[in-house]
Amino acid sequence: MKTVNTLERLWKGGCEFLGTRYAILGGAMTWVSERHLVSAISNAGGFGVLASGSMPPEILRQEIQATRTMTNKPFGVNLITLHPQLMDLVQVCIDEKVTHVALAGGLPSSESISKLKEAGIKVLCFAPALVIAKRLLRLGVDALIIEGMEAGGHVGPVSTTVLAQEILPEIQEVPVFIAGGIARGEAIAAYLEMGAAGCQLGSRFVCTTECQAHPKFKAFFIRSNARDAVLSPQLDPRFPIIPVRGIQNAGTANFIETQRDVILRFERGEITQQEGQLEIEHFWAGALRRAVVEGDIETGSVMAGQSVGLIKEELPVEEVIQMLIAQAEASLKVI
């Protein structure tokens, strides 16, 4: 018979792994998941995760230290595997005695995983398919995060629900956390019942009072719906792009036109394929910062998951987390 204590039982392993009251992770969003939001999530019983993004090592060190002045609760650091100074960032996390590190943005090297684990740091990695999940287990990761295409930012081609059905029944060796398109407690409860250790939410925490994102950025979230959060389109396979989900704006249209212009100039022999590829890749340079920090929601990159359609108001982090808990518990009760 289900009771309100079912939730605690379902995510007990996830809470023990994270060292938290609730197995709710804050998604690491560049320029958004900084000391204020991360500490607020951790203080509210969740697990905040610092987004290192393209930070150089010393800036990451400062951000970790600053976060520690705002919370004495556990929090983690997200490192991008393609960062040119990855191993230096790893060393910063070791020096600062970070407890958990999430490696994102591609398959991590065995060197990075080994160095973190030798220092006693728990390593989380993203698994976009079962075959990769199993490979990560062989590399020795301590937990997995399944993130579906509903998520904001850089995403893969498969939905969260399909990935969960593919991976959860096959992986019991380590905790598996679910991410992508989650903004209500009922979804958290459903994934826990499927075998997840907890869930990661990103977009849901953008519209919180502690989040330092520009007011225009938050307002754009609140007035958008799920269909507004679209993937950046690729027009020509000769010029591949990494899909990014964000709220459609003038920048989205400009990106499409830039691709068309590059393709035409390449076909006329005016530029090389490499030059065209670089032009496309550089289009969004600085665009996320413009949107989050400066409030340029017209030409900036407003990365958001499809769950943005479920966000209707700005609330304190504590209130958001308690709302999620109440929704999850209510869905687990026997009527």
Residues 199 and 230 in one domain: no
Mean pLDDT of the chain: 96
pTM of the predicted model over 0.85: yes
Residues 317 and 261 in one domain: no
Q: Which residue has the higher pLDDT, 123 or 154?
A: 123
pLDDT tens per residue across span 95-111: 999 999 999 998 999 99
> With 50 as the cut, is the pLDDT of residue 296 above it?
yes
Confidence class for position 285, pLDDT limits 50, 70, 90? confident
- HEC readout, 222-290: HHCCHHHEEECCCCCCCCCCCCEEEECCHHHHHHHHHHHHHHHHHHCCCCCHHHHHHHHHCCCCCHHHH
Residue 69 maps to which CATH number?
3.20.20.70
Residues 138 and 191 in one domain: yes
Q: Which domain holds residue 100?
A: 6-213+310-332
pLDDT tens per residue across span 126-136: 999 999 999 99
- The whole-angstrom separation of Cα 200 and Cα 208 is 16
pLDDT of residue 335: 47
Confidence class for position 334, pLDDT limits 50, 70, 90? low
pLDDT tens per residue across span 24-56: 999 999 999 999 999 999 999 999 999 999 999
pLDDT tens per residue across span 186-209: 999 999 999 999 999 999 999 999
Residues 144 and 57 in one domain: yes
pLDDT of residue 4: 46
pLDDT of residue 2: 52
At residue 44, φ and ψ (nearest 5 deg) are -85, 5
Residue 219 lies in a domain: no
- HEC readout, 48-85: EEEECCCCCHHHHHHHHHHHHCCCCCCEEEEEECCCCC
Average pLDDT over residues 56-65: 98
Average pLDDT over residues 157-172: 96
Burial of 159 per CB tally in 10 Å (0-12, 13-18, 19+): middle
Q: What total number of domains does the chain contain?
A: 2
